[in-house]
Amino acid sequence: MSESYTSNDLLNAIAAASKTLSERKDEINRLNVFPVPDGDTGTNMSLTLETVVENLAKLPIGAEGAEIRKAITTGALMGARGNSGVITSQILRGLCEGSVGQKLDAAGIDAAFSSAVEVAFQAVRKPVEGTILTVLRDSAAAAKRARKKKLSPEEALSSVVEEAYASVQRTPDLLPVLKENGVVDAGGFGLAIFFDAFASALTGREGPLGDELAFARSAAPKVEIEQINDWEGSAYRYCTEFLVHSDDVDADAAKEFLPTMGDCDLMVGMHPNFKVHVHTNRPDEVLGWFLDHGAQISEVHIHNMQLQSAARTDALAAEEAAERKPLGFVAVAAGEGNARILESLGVDVVVSGGQTMNPSTKDLLDAVGAVNADAVIILPNNKNIIMAAQSACDLSDTPCAVVPTRSVPEAFAALFGFDEGAGLEENVESMTEAYAEVRTGEVTRAIKDSKDAHDNPIKEGDVIGIADGSIEAVGSSVDDVVLSLLAAMGAEEADTLTILAGEDLSDEAFDGLVERIEGAFGELEVDAHRGDQPLYPVVMSVE
């Protein structure tokens, strides 16, 4: 490490860069080349970095080296959301691994970036030019040139940042879809912003750096209290907890009052914030006392301990009685209807998520851990969640695999291919084959002007129909676009249509749509359900 920079300087620079990325996430999101409401690259990258900062903020003061690297890599991986977040986590892992034993000089920067390229490219099965990986590789090349020229750390970082932005500007020449839509790569732009903000925070300010990590540690005043679980043998029914906000409430008087209302009473903190806990039969009178004494209250939680105890007993008995399965399932889906259907088909845990709200690696890992099975299959149901699902499987103590479904209808078909008598690997193969012939269609509204797969114009607000990632229909009404999309998907030659109504499509409108489909495609068997997914009035598949 260079004598010019301390570990705290580096941590503050990471936190400052994360903050900048969060502030500019919408700008990055708007670069999404597909005119559907799931342009969330900036959101995913910023959430990943925010988890890193949260992890760093938990480190003891004076933490060095290995502790810091572990906090970064663990936070990035557990917080990774979407493909862009997963790749970002791998870039950070590579930078950390490459920095071991290095100083913060041109040689150390070169070593870190060389490692980042190696690790990140290994994480992507088929790297595509003109993406975040290209920007990373070009940035690493700039770091290598800086080492050969024996530049100072500040000059080396400046060279990396300049090349990152230059590489972003070149991405449309490498990826035709970017040029067609007049944008640069969103992930690459997000990475350049992060590098720029980090370098600026580390080298570009006069005087000591602002303590960005202090903000992460205490973004808002909070009262610390040891978590208290069940209090056995309480004579009172209601566990009552709340925050008290007052500059002049008499804490001693309050502590004398609480025991008169129940037991297990506790009041901690100091003016103006206190946390109160008491078991009582009259929570209304407890709250009323503080209100009568001029305090404000918030975060009120009242739990009936008798009902909780009975429910817990029943749940534990059911858990013990539940037979452990050889193979269980985790699926990702948005919408209560979709979740109910998946559960009816045998999915053990449904993780809420999908377009615009990709679950993190940790979310999926926790879901796998909640399944009472010897092995688990994850159905991501979105192409942007597949990498996070694979990362969860890599980290899982339970044998785990991914059937890389890209939509909920594909998951339905995959689950029909499940063989109870087969093992994990055999079922991954058979379930993947089961959904291979499924064609998925999605209907939504364009969030910006664009063009469809046939170079026809799309205006913001148009209804668009997407078949397996290609925009094949554009119109002004959901019904018309659905019928056009079905024709493009070859519905006339298909046997079955599965169609899911979104949360904004009424039952009456859905019934009318199904009636039109049955009239237009008389031989097609229609299986209609409410999926209640957001943003997409209709999701469907033909087989």
Q: Is residue 318 part of a domain?
A: no
- List the beta bridge partners of residue 241: 277, 301
Residues 46, 152 share a domain: yes
- Confidence at 34, pLDDT banded by 50, 70, 90: low
Q: How many domains does the chain have?
A: 4
Residue found under tokens 């860069």: 17
**How high is the pLDDT of residue 38?**
55
Q: What is the mean pLDDT of residues 217-236?
A: 40
| pLDDT tens digits, one per residue of 394-432 | 999 999 999 999 999 999 999 999 999 999 999 999 999
Q: Is residue 119 part of a domain?
A: yes
Taking every pair of C-alpha atoms in the chain, what is the biggest distance, in angstroms? 79
| pLDDT tens digits, one per residue of 507-525 | 999 999 999 999 999 889 9
- Tokens, residue 21: 């990325």
Provide the percentage of residues in the chain whose pLDDT is more than 90.
65
Contact 395, 362 (CB under 8 A): no
Q: What is the mean pLDDT of residues 448-456?
A: 89
Q: Residue type at 523?
A: E
| pLDDT tens digits, one per residue of 360-392 | 999 999 999 999 999 999 999 999 999 999 999
Q: What is the mean pLDDT of residues 436-443?
A: 93
Which residues 6+ apart lie within 8 Å of 481 measured at CB? 443, 463, 464, 465, 473, 474, 475
- Confidence at 215, pLDDT banded by 50, 70, 90: very low
Helix axis angle, 336-344 to 408-416, nearest 10°: 10
Residues 189, 175 share a domain: yes
Residues 168, 79 share a domain: yes
Q: Is residue 166 part of a domain?
A: yes
Reply yes or no: is the peptide bond before residue 399 cis, omega within 30 of 0.
Answer: no
Residues 502, 466 share a domain: yes
Q: Is residue 260 part of a domain?
A: yes
Q: How far, CA to CA in Å, does 414 sit from each of 147, 398, 468?
A: 51, 21, 16
Q: Is residue 76 part of a domain?
A: yes
**How high is the pLDDT of residue 83?**
73
Residues 444, 429 share a domain: no
Q: Is residue 233 part of a domain?
A: no
**How high is the pLDDT of residue 319?**
58
- Angle among Cα 266, 272, 276 to the nearest 5 degrees reads 20
- Tokens, residue 38: 């799931």
Q: What is the mean pLDDT of residues 247-253?
A: 92
**How high is the pLDDT of residue 24?**
92
Q: Is the pLDDT of residue 220 over 80?
A: no
Residue ranges making up the domain that contains 263: 238-309
| pLDDT tens digits, one per residue of 299-335 | 888 878 777 566 655 765 665 556 789 999 999 999 9
Residues 255, 175 share a domain: no
Q: What is the mean pLDDT of residues 453-481?
A: 93
Find the CATH number of the domain harbouring 331.
3.40.50.510
Q: What's the pTM value of the predicted model, to 2 decimals?
A: 0.70
Residue 215 φ/ψ, nearest 5 degrees: -65, -40
Q: What is the mean pLDDT of residues 109-119?
A: 95
- List the beta bridge partners of residue 525: 496
Q: Is residue 409 part of a domain?
A: yes
**How high is the pLDDT of residue 210?**
41
Put the strands of the sheet holding 439-445 in their side by side order: 470-475, 463-467, 439-445, 538-542, 496-501, 525-530
Residues 290, 403 share a domain: no
Which residues 6+ apart lie within 8 Å of 268 measured at CB? 223, 224, 225, 274, 275
Q: Which helix (H) or strand (E) holds 535?
A: none
**How high is the pLDDT of residue 44?**
84
Q: What is the mean pLDDT of residues 198-214?
A: 61
**How high is the pLDDT of residue 191?**
95
Provide the percentage of residues in the chain whose pLDDT is more than 70.
89
**How high is the pLDDT of residue 116?**
95
- The more confident residue out of 72 and 264 is 72
Torsion-angle region of 278 (φ positive above 0: left; ψ -120 to 50: alpha; else: beta): beta
- Confidence at 212, pLDDT banded by 50, 70, 90: very low
Kindly state the DSSP code that residue 407 receives in the 8-state scheme: S
- Tally of CB atoms within 10 A around 457: 10
Last residue of a domain, one of 309, 334, 352: 309
- Tokens, residue 139: 């940035």
As a whole number, the mean pLDDT across the chain is 87
Q: Is the pLDDT of residue 224 over 70?
A: no
Residues 448, 377 share a domain: no
Contact 487, 504 (CB under 8 A): no
**CA–CA distance, 353 with 363 (Å, rounded to integer):** 10
- Tally of CB atoms within 10 A around 140: 25
- List the beta bridge partners of residue 354: 357
Residues 515, 378 share a domain: no
Q: Residue type at 403?
A: V
